[in-house]
Chain A
Amino acid sequence: MEKDKLLEEMRTAVIEGEIEEGEALARQALEAGFDPLECIESGFVAGINKVGALYEEGDMFLPELVAAGEVMKEALAVLEPELLKSKQSRTILGKVIIGSVAHDIHDIGKDIVASMLTASGFEVHNLGIDVPCDTFVARVRELKPDILGMSALLTTTMPEQRNVIEILEEEGLRKGVKVMVGGAPVNKEWAEAIGADGFAEDAVEAVKVAKSLVGGQ
């Protein structure tokens, strides 16, 4: 297949949220010997940008953004190893670790944020739910993310966000990472009180805040 046509199909796969199609196109591109970086940037990322624009215009909705993020994630899983082999790297906005804090089993909101961040060009490591404080700290030490995102839905689990920040502080890791917090009972005052760098009430805002946090670094 011609490269331009393939890139066009990649963009369409993202816009239409066709995960398997996107993955297949990525493999096809590699088999044909196309540059993986070009596929990512002119294919998938271009599709993501289109989805973002349509969302802003009110023609697309959050489930479509999430699906676009999923297409992107699967395509990257195929293309990134090849990219690394050729010692190239794609432009990523930043590396994010995200998870729901200890004793908190709520995942949907946090997962939406993770997908949206992926779709927006962040490298996202989703640690899941009920993530112990030590795990957050260990992964921050290991992956050196730009942003750590913590979600809590209950007033009883909210203090865990503060615990993690305090331990990061004690371990000397706090300065190297921006911390974002979210979840139903979390508000701006709480975020400020525990010394978080960012807070958002929904996924769209979370992306904006994440972008501004890495931009400011």
Chain B
Amino acid sequence: MKQRKFQPPCSKLTFKVLSERDIVKIHEAALEVMEEAGVRFPSSRALDVLEEAGCSVNRETMVAKLPSDLVIKTLRQAPTRFLLAGRDSKDDLWIDDRTSHLSTDGCAVDVYDINTGKLRRSKKQDIVNACKLADYLPEISYIWGPPVSAQDIPAHIRPLHEIEASMNGTTMHIQPETVITHEIAHFALEMAAVVAGGKEKLRRRPLFSYMQCATDPLGQDGGSLDASMVAAEWGIPTGFMPMPMSCATAPATLAGNLVVTTVDAVSPLVLMQLVNPGTPVYFAAAPTAIDIKTGGYTGGGPEDFLLAAAFSEICHFYQIPLAVGGFATGAKLPDWQAAVDNSFAGLMPVLTNTSIINGAGTLNGSKIFSLQALIMDAEIYSIIAKTSQGIEVNDDTLAVDLIKKVGPGGNFLADKHTRKCMRDIWQPVVYDRKPYGQWEESGRRGAFEEATELARWVIENHEVEPLEEGVKKEFAAIIKRADQELGK
């Protein structure tokens, strides 16, 4: 099958949720909250660093109050552009705050089995397959995740197996979210250093970056903080993902939610810049609202779409790249609801030039992974990317001479201009555009069936450059050591 080309979108359309004044108001509100209420950093090391920098620290509650001038100073130290390197340099991504990259989602616990169609618990091999498919799909820029949890592996070494499985499936950049303790972070970085060819080379070409979750509202997770301080020393990019849910972990009002999101994204950045000034830290966020009927996570809906776009605008104000959660539909199947959710959740961040959109391939609020959904999400993204290019208006595109030449009642079908420009018109991969009769004859095959066939083909045929034998051996040795040390 011919490999398609895809250019990650850098939207030419403009779209705004917040006014400049709104953004400044939210920024000032966040500063006030960080200075007066403070943020919980449940790590004694983190509190030491913050106290030394002039924050007032309460050791009992583990809350640090961050002075506004410190926040503003450290925000300036974070780079506005950084590299997420691939195992293969053709997969390198320069993250700026204009171009939008789509990643897989992490970290689902169930999968729809591609052969049986049935729901089952995820395993290590599912990570390899998911990464392989992501590697094949040009719309997917890197692996956030792992896409699913390797639940057939003992918990204490699971994150390391997940990294190994991801690397077996792709040469793209890998951003694990399951490395959430100090100890595991060291082992994980050792693995990355083996592939990069040493610690120094890894610093220059980070094959790895981390994504840590915040504990909203106004809090971070201790293990994650410790893991990211290790990352900062190694020069590995880290993002912190607040996920405030309006009505539960954030005010019901979306503006209030944005204040909490800003505090929980900015406050760990302050810490990281203090640990290692200039270390790449990006913002991440998946702000949402609860389902007020059940209290559950929704994974979509208009609040999510607005919050994502608005927080993206706030991040442009800070000139720090943002990874936003999207494509995390609450639908149980890749159906109408999934398409509605994921179209909006992809479009809004692209139109606001968000750097990274995390989340392709899952259903049921990131709990179920589906290979078909990954393909269908990639297709949605390619529609969005094309749409975001807008319409170029110049003499050539106006084609006035051509229109006059063809004249009333003529057609443009075989004209040279048509043949030259027609390849700019979007082409589907799984979208169904068959005439009705052919659709009937095909056994009513739609996008899902096409995606199933493609997924099977890719798993069977797509070749990914394997890890070198030496690397595999060193991985095994590191994992063995981790097992002995952490498995007690």
Contact = CB atoms under 8 A, between A and B. Distances in A.
Interface in B118-151: 121, 149, 151
Contact of A62 (B109, B222, B290, B367): B290
Given A62-B294, A203-B294, A203-B295, A184 B155 contact: no
A199 to B, nearest CB: 14
A159 B155 CA distance: 8
B155 A62 contact: no
Given A62-B290, A108-B248, A108-B249, A155 B149 contact: yes
B155 A156 contact: yes
A105 B158 contact: no
B296 interface: yes
A64 to B, nearest CB: 9
Interface in A154-188: 155-156, 159, 184-185, 187
B476 interface: no
B247 A63 contact: yes
Contacts of A156: 155, 158, 178
Contacts of B291: 62
Nearest to A158: B155
A108 B222 CA distance: 18
Contacts of B42: 105
Contacts of A155: 107, 109, 149, 151, 155, 158
Contact of B295 (A105, A185, A202): A202
B221 interface: yes
A30 interface: no
Among A62, A112, A189, chain B packs the most CB atoms within 10 A around the CB of A62
B43 interface: no
Given A62-B290, A63-B247, A109 B109 contact: no
B292 A61 contact: yes
Contacts of B178: 156
B110 interface: yes
B109 A204 contact: no
Nearest to A55: B293
Contacts of B290: 62
Interface in B283-327: 290-297
Nearest to B156: A156
Contacts of A105: 42, 215, 221-222
A203 B178 CA distance: 27
Among B245, B252, B293, chain A packs the most CB atoms within 10 A around the CB of B293
A46 B110 CA distance: 42
Nearest to A202: B294
Contacts of A58: 293
Among A63, A159, A201, chain B packs the most CB atoms within 10 A around the CB of A63
A159 B156 CA distance: 11
Contacts of B110: 187
B367 A185 contact: yes
B151 A204 contact: no
A185 B294 contact: no
Interface string B96-112: 00000000000101100
A62 B295 contact: yes
Nearest to B290: A62
Contacts of B245: 108
Nearest to A187: B110
A62 B249 contact: no
A62 B296 CA distance: 10
A66 B290 CA distance: 14
Contact of A204 (B215, B252, B294, B297): B294
A84 to B, nearest CB: 33
Given A63-B247, A202-B295, A203-B295, A185 B215 contact: no
Nearest to B42: A105
Contacts of A187: 110
A62 B293 contact: yes
Contact of B292 (A63, A108, A184): A63
Interface in B193-248: 215, 221-222, 245, 247-248
A109 B109 CA distance: 18
Among A109, A185, A202, chain B packs the most CB atoms within 10 A around the CB of A185
A115 B155 CA distance: 31
Given A62-B290, A108-B248, A203-B295, A185 B109 contact: yes
A83 to B, nearest CB: 31
Nearest to A65: B295
B367 A184 contact: yes
B88 to A, nearest CB: 30
A68 B42 CA distance: 32
A204 B155 CA distance: 31
Nearest to B294: A202
A155 B158 CA distance: 10
Interface in B345-363: none
Interface in A54-75: 58, 61-63, 66
A63 B296 CA distance: 12
B215 to A, nearest CB: 6
Nearest to B109: A185
A109 B221 contact: no
10 contacts: A62-B292, A105-B42, A105-B222, A106-B215, A109-B295, A155-B109, A156-B158, A184-B297, A185-B109, A189-B121
Given A108-B245, A155-B155, 13 more contacts: A61-B292, A62-B291, A62-B293, A62-B294, A105-B221, A106-B215, A112-B248, A112-B295, A156-B178, A184-B109, A185-B109, A189-B121, A202-B294
Task: Identify the 5 closest CB pairs spanning chains A and B, nearest first.
Answer: A61-B292, A185-B109, A202-B294, A156-B155, A155-B149
Interface of A: 58, 61-63, 66, 105-106, 108-109, 112, 155-156, 159, 184-185, 187, 189, 201-204
